[in-house]
Chain A
């Protein structure tokens, strides 16, 4: 039977393997025929959503892999907005409100709050944090 998972990503895009672990877990969930309800990026996890990350071309590009996961399997990617803002991770709207000339978060990543995490946990069968 199909089960729903919500995944929380707390680790940075670069410097630890936990974000890559989270991505691999999501891929395994989908491969097993289950569904990812949403991926919630919290704490340093929000750095996964920066479109300005430029890893070397022969290295894993986590940002691209999250994008592919979202686009191919319709997985919502939600950033905790307050975790993001204090790390310089801004959407166009955030940049406008904070009077900044640049931003680094675009669709399919969207800004949300902890409420999104709470409703996601309610709707999902399993909550797994990395």
Chain B
């Protein structure tokens, strides 16, 4: 069980794409900083759908994405705090930053 940590926008590099290639069904993905932008794109949402997806709440808010934007996406997104990120780092066996 791995926590995949993506910090960069899928529009700028291939971190999220490569992460998804190596993501196992029981793994989770945490999106932080510009990586949260992927939540606005239906094609990325479709690829994220099979996994447990978390996003840092502060980063989502900082980019003007509201609960309404996220509710419009067809997948469940858990908005988490930094404290919860730490807790998730421990419930998973390791954290990989892409």
Contacts and interface: CB of A to CB of B under 8 A. Distances in A.
Partners in one complex: yes
Interface of A: 3, 5, 16-18, 21, 24-25, 27-29, 31-32, 34, 125-130
6 contacts: A5-B89, A32-B83, A32-B87, A125-B90, A127-B94, A128-B89
B86 A32 contact: yes
B33 interface: yes
A3 to B, nearest CB: 6
Given A28-B86, A127-B95, A129-B5, 15 more contacts: A18-B7, A18-B33, A21-B33, A27-B82, A28-B85, A29-B86, A31-B83, A32-B83, A32-B86, A34-B86, A125-B90, A126-B90, A127-B94, A128-B89, A128-B95
Contacts of B82: 24-25, 27-28
Contacts of A29: 86
Interface of B: 5, 7, 32-33, 81-83, 85-87, 89-90, 94-95, 97
Contacts of A21: 7, 32-33
> Which of B5, B7, B87, B94 has the largest number of chain A CB atoms within 10 A?
B7
Contacts of B94: 126-127
A128 to B, nearest CB: 5
Given A21-B32, A25-B82, A128 B90 contact: no
B5 to A, nearest CB: 7
